[in-house]
Structure 1
Amino acid sequence: MTEMWKTDTPKVVTLPSGRIIRGRGLRYDLPEGQTPTLAVHLTDHEPPEQPWESLWVPWRDFWLPADPMDAMRKLRVAYDRATDERVEICCGGGIGRTGTGLSALCIFEGMDPKEAVKWVRRNYHPRAVEVPWQRRFIRQVHAADASGSGQS
């Protein structure tokens, strides 16, 4: 079993289920200390190779994922693996897309969309999920998760 994120690591949040996830802005230096075992990159360009596993979700800044179902599947992988791995969700600034991804994980926790966004804003960043269509994506994740179509 991998050593989990230290809870005092910057931008690490502990979901109600106990899963620990780190959000990160790729524009900033990699924090010292622990590195992820899995990173989900929510970016408009494919990320460079890293020494850890990564999944790429094509997603332009201030927009929505190019393929919402693919995004949901990859976020579900991150959620599932966060039980015993160091998982991070990241985008350019680490706020909008990252916050939207973290809100999707909250949907997998059983929260409704409004509660998920409020939780992420309270526990991760107050401006997370920056634009209305990102909130709409969270509602889409909720609907897919409820119907079972968001499962991998």
Structure 2
Amino acid sequence: MTELWNTDTRGVITLPSGRMIRGRGLRYDLPEGQNPTFAVHLMGHQPPEPQWDSLWVTWRDFWLPADPVDAMRKLRTAYDRAANERVEVCCGGGVGRTGTALSAICIFEGMDPKAAVKWVRQNYHARAVEVPWQRRFLWQVFAADGSGRHRQ
């Protein structure tokens, strides 16, 4: 097992399950301290390859993932890996797309979309989930079981 995030690491939130995930903006310098062991990059163009495992979700600023099912699958991977690893979810500024992704991960924790957005805004960033269609995407996540299969 990898050493998990220090609880005082900037951008790290502790989910109700105890899993810890860091959100951040790629436009800014890498924070001092621990590096992630796994990251999901939410970008409209392929980001530079980091020194740790990563996945890329094609997701333009202020928009939605190009492939929502693929995005849900990759975010579920981040959620699963956060049980034993230092996981990071990041976009350009670290607010809208990252906040939406963290809200989707909260849905995997069992929250409904409205509660997930509220929780992320209280625990990560007050402006997380910036546009209405990002909130609608969270209802799509809620309707699926997190692996891209829709609930019956």
Task: State the TM-score bracket (shorter-chain normalisation).
Answer: over 0.9
* Deviations 1:24-55 (CA, angstroms, capped at 9, x unpaired): 00000000110000000000011111110010
Q: Quote the sequence identity (%).
A: 78
Alpha-carbon separation, structure 2, partners of 1:80 and 1:138: 18
Aligned residues: 151
Q: Counterpart in 1 of 2:62?
A: 62
Does residue 126 of structure 2 align to residue 129 of structure 1? Answer: no
Distance 1:98 1:45 in 2: 15
Structure 1 residue ranges without an equivalent (≥5): none
| 8 Å Cα contact 1:72-1:150 kept in structure 2 | no
- The secondary structure found in structure 1 opposite 2:89 is strand
What RMSD in Å do the two structures reach over aligned CA positions?
A: 1.5
Question: Normalising to structure 1: TM-score of the pair?
Answer: 0.96
Question: Does 1:91 find its partner at 2:88?
Answer: no
Q: Which amino acid is 2:60 matched to?
A: R
User: What's the counterpart of residue 101 of structure 1?
Assistant: 101
Q: CA deviation at 1:147?
A: 9.4
Q: Would you identify which runs of 4 or more consecutive aligned residues in structure 1 move more than 3 Å?
A: none
1:100 touches 1:135 (CA, 8 Å); kept in 2? yes
User: Cα gap change, 1:134/1:8 in structure 2, threshold over 3 Å: closer, same or farther?
Assistant: same
Residue 20 of structure 2 is matched in structure 1 by 20
Does the CA-based 8 Å contact 2:73-2:147 persist in structure 1? no
Secondary structure of 1:13 counterpart: strand
- Gapped regions of structure 2 (runs ≥ 5): none
Distance 1:137 1:58, change over 3 A: same
Contact 2:104/2:141 (<8 A) preserved:
yes
The TM-score normalised by the length of structure 2 is 0.96
